[in-house]
Amino acid sequence: MYAEHFVRAAEASADWPVHPRQVPDGDANPLWGRFARYFGLRTRVLDDFLLRSVRVGGARQVVLVGAGLDARAFRLDWPPGCVVFEIDRKEVLAFKHRVLGGLSATPRAARVPVPMDLRADWADALPRVGFDPAAPSVWLVEGLLFYLPPAAETYLIDTVEGLSAGGSALAFEVKLEKDLLEYRDSPLYTATREQIGIDLLDLFDLAPRPDSAGRLTDRGWSTSVHTPFDFTRLHGRGPLPEPNDALAGNRWVFAEKPHTEGGARGA
């Protein structure tokens, strides 16, 4: 709904195609076809997770960590009383505000931008803008942890855990490969380098990753870990495994923190 407008508004991506039919090999293109299907599937799955967490789980606080150009506050049909907190750098949120303002877009929940670099003390800032750590919340860390050093990932997960009351939920994405460089010549990474000049492996942190899902399990959270291909089979669309697959190690993690004894449950 809004993605094309962001692409067109950014100088670096203004000439990018916004549909597979705009590239010669169409849906067969590793970047504009398969990778685009991956992002479409991920968006759908995480949309479902967030809405289930607020509609069934009862959380009314939604926190997008490293929100980027996420427009879920505008796209999704939120229940009454939901507040969406968007944490990211000031420049990123300002660009998003400018593009969405030009479209006269209206958020469908209360939206609270939190203009902070994640290296700053965003955990202290959240309560100052209305976040209540004593109430259930749902957290989304989408497409971020790949880029962080292991210690920063652990700090982020621990911070979310510490701010989450019983009844809270969290979704995030990780990569499990021991050596990402084994996939340097994969069709997906090659196409990304050659077609838009971005070397993802230069951006990712290549150090061994911590077991963040296991860390949450040890602290009492209920966790489940899935491959993207699990959801391709569930929904009948999305990428399937292939040889030399840069997506082979991707995992989507979903975690729920149990209600504390005597704690209130959302309606």
In a domain, 266, yes or no: no
Per-residue pLDDT of 229-249, as tens digits, reads 999 999 999 999 999 999 999
Position 148 in a domain: yes
* Domain housing 16: 2-257
* 263 falls within a domain: no
Cβ atoms of residues 181 and 246 within 8 Å: no
Q: Residue 20 has what pLDDT? A: 78
d(C-alpha 94, C-alpha 88), whole Å: 10
Can you give the pLDDT at residue 262? 54
pLDDT tens string 190-235: 999 999 999 999 999 999 999 999 999 999 999 999 999 999 999 9
Quote helix, strand, coil % in the chain, to nearest 5. Answer: 45, 15, 40
Q: Is 226 buried (19+), middle (13-18) or exposed (0-12) by CB count in 10 A?
A: middle
* Residue 264 domain flag: no
Q: Is the pLDDT of residue 18 over 60?
A: yes
Q: By three-state DSSP, how is residue 199 classified?
A: coil
pLDDT of residue 261: 66
Task: Note whether residue 33 is domain-resident.
Answer: yes
Identify the pLDDT of residue 177. 78
Would you give the distance in Å from CA 34 to the centre of its chain?
Answer: 18
High-pLDDT (> 90) share of the chain, %: 89
**List of residues 6+ apart from 234 with CB closer than 8 A:** none
Name the phi and psi angles at 240, rounded to 5. -115, 160
How many independent structural domains does the chain possess?
A: 1
Helix (H) or strand (E) holding 123: helix 122-128
| Domain membership flag for residue 265 | no
pTM tops 0.85, yes or no = yes
Residues 68-111: tens digit of each pLDDT: 999 999 999 999 999 999 999 999 999 999 999 999 999 999 99
Q: How confident is the model at residue 27 (pLDDT cuts 50, 70, 90)?
A: confident
Who has greater pLDDT, 59 or 27? Answer: 59
Residue 50 lies in a domain: yes
The answer to the question of residue 262 being in a domain is no
**Contact call for residues 159 and 167 (beta carbons, < 8 A):** no
- The CATH number of residue 98's host domain is 3.40.50.150
